Structure 1
Amino acid sequence: MVADLAARQVARGDRVVVACLPDTRLAAAAAQAGAEVRVWNARRSPGPALLKEAADLRRIVDSVRPDVVHLHSSKAGLAGRLALRGALPTVFQPHAWSFEAVTGLLAVASVRWERAGARWAHRLVCVSDGERRQGEAAGVHASYMIVRNGVDIGHFDSTAAPSRETARARLGIDASTPLVVCVARLCRQKGQDVLLAAWPSVTDRIPGARLVLVGDGPDRAALAARAPSSVSFAGDVADPRDWYMAADLVTLSSRWEAGMALAPLEAMACSRPVVVTDVPGAREFLPPHHAADCLVPRDDPTALGGKMTHLLANRASGCALGTQAHEYTLGHHSVDQVAERMYAVYGEAVKVWADGARPGG
């Protein structure tokens, strides 16, 4: 998402600087997009090095002297707001609230920080109304703006992507195999354990069906230990487009999401039907009237298995849903639209900063 946004901003003639870990996919993609990449050695989670990370980021910002600082994710939002404290026009985009991923005292501390840190963001961007409502319910009073997620339509558009047959040939998947694909990090958040619990009900009804988990993460070994032979692990892939195009159905069984998951949007651009859990943001990226066919409750393997079985057994219905999803995504979830809307956010942030108003007011 950051690299896609940077590419559009560079194309408009802006100077874009991305501060991130070196030798990562983001660093490579941002550089390819034409952005300047500065090394910022920040860990994924808060820890003893936080103050040094904030100081390092402040030095980067001071050397760049940007017009706007856009902080992506909870960790960058924490370090960046501590470093700047409203000194420059600051946009914070959590991509999932920090308090959603933790429990107990850490969750309490995260809520308190988000409430306090809101005063150092001139605009706070949520990717869905659901994400905004979560923040408001937690008492995070901020100047919210909604910019729904988008995908690179030129890359994922099924009319330009390889055909189902070509994709399957590349991946070694038989043309007649009923195939379900899940593209996500292998972790508790994404709920692949629920997906595996649901899968036997699918193969009982549709013998020969295959499930492929695309991605890597801390839960891979535990998931692999309980997976039947009809489940495969593709590992981390740089570009999942062939897996979307090869699939008959794409699913995501998340327990929570970063406001609006990208994988279902990419699959929909590829004209694939999706089955996803009803987490905040999910209803907002689906076409009208798709909820009944595509949404299931969280942590409900019975419902998940039932929806997957129905769509695999009714290919015509799945294809129709995929076609509708494709058209909806092209019209509502292009990354080009995201870039245009983000300029409005930046303009608001600069105005508030220039007026000297309290950021979170």
Structure 2
Amino acid sequence: MHTAPLPRVLHLTQPVDGGVARVVTDLVRAQLSDGLDVTVACPDSALTTKLRTLGARVRHWHATRSPGTSLVREVRHLARVIDEVRPDLVHAHSAKAGLAGRLAVRGRIPTVFQPHAWSFEAVSGGTAALALLWERWGARWASRVVCVSEAERATGMDARITGRWTVVPNGIDPERFRPAPAGAVRAGLAPLAGIRPAAPLAVCVGRLCRQKGQDVLLRAWEAVVRQVPDARLVLVGDGPDHDRLREGAPESVVFTGAVADASPWYQASDLVVLPSRWEGMALAPLEAMACGRPVVVTDVDGARESLPPSFAARCLVPPEDPAALAGAVTELLADPLLRESLGSQGRRHVLSTHDVRYTAEAVSDVYRDLLGPWTAATPSAEHGQPLGTGRGAEANRTPQRVEPTEYRESIHS
């Protein structure tokens, strides 16, 4: 069978932190290992340094996180970058890059848009209405919309966004996020956070912002410590709500600020909590389960799909419900045997359905559908082994691949 040359792929991303940055990094790593010619356009940040270390070309794109008066300039700059890179395919990540990227390309190049949660869920009032109108209009300039969960796709469909859809569940690297003895890890972190080794420990990893719902968790925490007085809560991350959340927080709550690697905090925890108001499919619960830790999450898009079915009764709570959140956290902090059982189930679930290798393969399948087939190159020494192929018994496993689901619909003009 004739195969085309390896394609040139241009990823566009803004934001450059949090889960979106981790997804972009994992995709770039895998695509470089497959021999693709990969460039990323994004603002200068720690992400650009990481991407260059992997061997990707990086083009500076000065763009703010939210749309504003600078949008016209940002689109023009991006159009120049696209003309210079001459990609075969553009992959735009999240609302801002999806907005500017589709305006710059306008369907002239195959374009994949990956919302990573819908923009109209993040705002309200007139701004939400404008965001929704744009998503309906901009869909005509996306060759494919890649959603990270069936629920995220359903939210888009319910909002009357039309197009060609593919669902590719988020994945994580189970070699990077893996179990470790909590006591030993916590002993190393205790001097940084002042946490007693024996204290029941809940951890929340995420950007400190309205989406992630740490304010709801802090309200719930008051009820938790009444039942488990020696419990401690660690908020891992930074963001625009840092000062507001820290003001008035009790002594039992620790703020770490931004960290380069959250895996030690997962490993040190007894329980990981993510009380989000909206998501597509959050990475933090997957990372926590890969580390063998139970989770409590709010029942937003992607949450049910990311958990084993047996977790629903104990680990899913309604969003913005401090009482339900406190009850679930208290129950698990008080039951070590239940936590151990749920942690083992969660690890097995992630290995079988959320290995990042399969996420990368599914995205490559989308590219092939749009561009035609190509033959992946043998991984080079420059880019190292593909994710999840390190040594150890688990690295040699053959987990069940979950195929992406494609939905075809006409794009209305």
Q: Please give the range of the TM-score, normalised by the shorter of the 2 chains.
A: over 0.9
Aligned length: 351
Q: Any idea what SS the aligned residue of 2:215 has?
A: helix
Aligned to 2:323: 302
Aligned to 2:209: 187
Distance in structure 1 (CA, Å) of the matches to 2:124 and 2:370: 32
Structure with the higher fraction of residues in helix conformation: 1
Aligned to 2:51: 30
**In structure 1, which of residues 15, 18, 21 is the aligned counterpart of residue 40 of structure 2?**
18
Aligned to 1:262: 283
Distance in structure 2 (CA, Å) of the matches to 1:266 and 1:294: 15
**In structure 2, which of residues 327, 341, 366 is the aligned counterpart of residue 345 of structure 1?**
366
Residue ranges of structure 2 left out of the alignment (5+ in a row): 1-22, 373-407
The AA in structure 2 aligned to 1:165 is G
Q: TM-score, normalised by structure 1?
A: 0.95
Distance in structure 2 (CA, Å) of the matches to 1:286 and 1:228: 31
Q: Any idea what SS the aligned residue of 1:201 has?
A: helix
Aligned to 2:65: 44
The AA in structure 1 aligned to 2:30 is R
Distance in structure 2 (CA, Å) of the matches to 1:350 and 1:109: 32
Q: Offset of 1:169 from its aligned partner?
A: 1.5
Q: Deviations over 1:34-87 (max 9, x none)?
A: 211110001101111111111111111111111111000110000000000010
**In structure 1, which of residues 201, 206, 215 is the aligned counterpart of residue 223 of structure 2?**
201
Map 1:1-361 → 2, pairs under 5 A: 1-22=23-44, 24-158=45-179, 162-172=180-190, 173-257=195-279, 259-350=280-371, 360=411
Q: Offset of 1:2 from its aligned partner?
A: 0.3
Q: Any idea what SS the aligned residue of 2:337 has?
A: helix
Distance in structure 2 (CA, Å) of the matches to 1:92 and 1:157: 31
The AA in structure 2 aligned to 1:33 is L
Checking the alignment, whether the CA contact within 8 Å between 1:118 and 1:359 is kept in structure 2 is no
Distance in structure 2 (CA, Å) of the matches to 1:305 and 1:253: 11
Q: Which moved more, 1:52-61 or 1:125-134?
A: 52-61
Checking the alignment, whether the CA contact within 8 Å between 1:95 and 1:127 is kept in structure 2 is yes
Residue ranges of structure 1 left out of the alignment (5+ in a row): 352-356
Distance in structure 1 (CA, Å) of the matches to 2:53 and 2:351: 24
Checking the alignment, whether the CA contact within 8 Å between 1:181 and 1:251 is kept in structure 2 is yes
Checking the alignment, whether the CA contact within 8 Å between 1:20 and 1:38 is kept in structure 2 is yes
Q: TM-score, normalised by structure 2?
A: 0.83
Q: Offset of 1:25 from its aligned partner?
A: 2.2
Q: Offset of 1:334 from its aligned partner?
A: 1.2
Distance in structure 2 (CA, Å) of the matches to 1:25 and 1:163: 30
Superposition RMSD in Å: 1.4
Distance in structure 1 (CA, Å) of the matches to 2:410 and 2:262: 39
Q: Any idea what SS the aligned residue of 1:226 has?
A: coil
4+ residue runs of structure 1 moved beyond 6 angstroms? none
The AA in structure 2 aligned to 1:20 is C
In structure 2, the CA distance between the partners of 1:344 and 1:359, relative to structure 1 (3 Å rule), is: farther
Q: Any idea what SS the aligned residue of 1:8 has?
A: helix
Checking the alignment, whether the CA contact within 8 Å between 2:236 and 2:258 is kept in structure 1 is yes
Aligned-residue identity in percent: 54
Q: Any idea what SS the aligned residue of 1:308 has?
A: helix
Distance in structure 1 (CA, Å) of the matches to 2:92 and 2:86: 15
Q: Deviations over 1:168-195 (max 9, x none)?
A: 1211133211000000111111111111
Distance in structure 1 (CA, Å) of the matches to 2:410 and 2:105: 12
Q: Deviations over 1:80-104 (max 9, x none)?
A: 0000001001000011111111111
Q: Any idea what SS the aligned residue of 1:91 has?
A: strand
Checking the alignment, whether the CA contact within 8 Å between 1:128 and 1:284 is kept in structure 2 is yes
The AA in structure 2 aligned to 1:28 is T
Distance in structure 2 (CA, Å) of the matches to 1:210 and 1:196: 12
Checking the alignment, whether the CA contact within 8 Å between 2:162 and 2:410 is kept in structure 1 is no
Distance in structure 2 (CA, Å) of the matches to 1:225 and 1:293: 31
Distance in structure 1 (CA, Å) of the matches to 2:217 and 2:316: 14
Q: Offset of 1:166 from its aligned partner?
A: 2.4
